[in-house]
Amino acid sequence: MHRQLSMSLEDLPTAEILDKFGSDPRNPSFHRSQRLQYDNGEMHIRDNPPIVDHFPKPHSLIPGCKKGELLHELDADVGGRQLHFTVYAQDKGNEGLGLDRTAQRVRLLRLFYHLDSDTLSLYEPPQDNSGCMQGRIFRSQRVPRPSRVGAPFLHWSELRLGVDVDLFGTKYRLARCDNYTRRFLEGHGVAVGEEERIPDDPWLVSRRWREQEPRPEAQKSFVNQPPLMFFRLAWLDQATDFFRCRQRRLFKMTVFCGDHTVCLHEETEGFEGQLFLRRIRLPKVITHDGVLRHYRSWDFRPGIWIDVFARNMFIVGCASEETRRYIEQQFGGESADIEIDWKQLADGPPPVDYLFTPQKITFICEMESPPPTLSGMQFIMAYDINKRTVDVSECSKFRKWSVGRHFLTAVETTLGENQFHVGACISLFRWRFKLTEAEFRTAEYLKFKRGREDGK
């Protein structure tokens, strides 16, 4: 059941109420306008002017200014409440160090003067290859005058082109300004002056990319690194099961330049085409800093030794014409092919150059005339070169160079490092040990030491 509502004449608003509230409920399309508005953090009636307009306009914050009153709302248009200058500073911090290009750096900066607070901001825009800390130097700071005569702080009336300003102990040269800054200063009777040329920074000029003239003839003959390079390797095998002498073996090495992997196929007579090493990243010997590194494609060229899993192989030449042209371009024509000298291969690679003497040298030794309980046992002897002490431990039967139980620990001796070599006999107390094999790094160091003594 719907109930019909009727409005009597007593319920209708009077003319006085309609004038006061400005809305007639009988007209649904008419809405009362909003008379309140929110401006600058204050709520006020829209029809009346804001309360802040009743206050006088702010004058310049600098007392005793002779340029007259500064009315910010009248003099500064929208977005123009600050003066903008382009300045530069000549940094002489590196003068006298012998660096001509960096003896006098020219740094380009932007100076802003905020009219509403009489403060300054200094900003250095980033530039490529500058080498200096760039960005904001300071922001919204009142800069004190060096002389402190008259006004204590720097005022906009003192800023004009062609003069130096002291900002916290550093002098900056005013070189340029925008159109608004020029109109503002000239309107207040300040002689702005003409714009000055900003000198070039010697460091940035030297770091600019120099366009080189094209060399079509050189570009036509230039050979890029091929995706595959082929080399021939020689190796004297001393651990073969079929020959009692060192067998001369030849290999063809394929270098994949994309991922720096290599694979080896044998070319020895009777073993042609057999895969000797599958495609793999070839590790180098562990360097002096203890990091395992791998060979790169640019490390391979004829005339060098490479280590293939404890096998010293010599690169004797190129196995393809494309590889030969690339090697001749990079290293010269004499580096493409080298005659195989099997006598040189028998001597092995040259000794590694040691900058520092190793702390310890290690050998595998056997006891001479051992008691029955120690018969057939091998030991590991480590000699500390700095402390001149010897440690003897049992050698593991399953892993070579693995230290087992200690036999003698920190035995002080008068022996020098020259007395420790393969074949030498070392007497410690009532035991006598014969050195039979040197550890890999120890052997390299002893070989380097012998080569240095022979060179002298």
What does the pLDDT look like over 79-89, one tens digit per residue?
457 899 999 88
Amino acid at site 66? K
Could you read off the pLDDT of 370-413 as tens digits, one per residue?
888 888 888 999 998 888 889 999 888 888 888 888 888 888 88
What does the block give as tokens for 321?
């014409």
What class, spelled out in words, does domain 72-205 have in CATH? mainly beta
Record the tokens describing residue 394, joined without a space: 């049992």
The pLDDT of residue 191: 87
**Residue with the two structure tokens 């090697």:** 327
**Could you tell me the two tokens for 314?**
């010599």
Return the structure tokens found at 50: 């804001």
The per-residue pLDDT for range 252-294, each reduced to its tens digit, is: 999 998 899 999 999 888 888 889 999 999 988 765 556 778 8
What is the Cα–Cα distance from 317 to 232, expressed in whole angstroms?
5
Q: Which of 13-27, 66-80, 429-443 shows the highest mean pLDDT?
A: 429-443
Q: How confident is the model at residue 64 (pLDDT cuts 50, 70, 90)?
A: very low
Token pair of 166 as six digits: 């002291």
Considering only 100-104, 105-109, 315-319, which range has the smallest mean pLDDT? 100-104
Contact, 172 vs 109, CB < 8 A?
Answer: yes
Which residue, chain included where needed, has tokens 């690194």?
Answer: 225
End-to-end CA distance of the chain: 126
Q: Which fold has domain 360-455?
A: PH-domain like (2.30.29)
For CA atoms 302, 307, 312, 313, the dihedral sign is negative
Q: Name the CATH code of domain 228-347 (choices 3.40.50.300, 3.90.850.10, 2.30.29.170, 3.30.1360.70).
A: 2.30.29.170
* CA angle 31–37–41, rounded 5-degree value: 160
Radius of gyration of the chain measured on its C-alpha atoms: 45
* Domain range annotation of the chain: 72-205, 228-347, 360-455
pTM: 0.38
Q: Tokens 């040189």, residue? A: 344
Domains 72-205 and 360-455 share a fold: yes
Torsion of CA 447, 452, 454, 456, to 10 degrees: -170
Q: Are 282 and 205 in contact (CB under 8 A)?
A: no
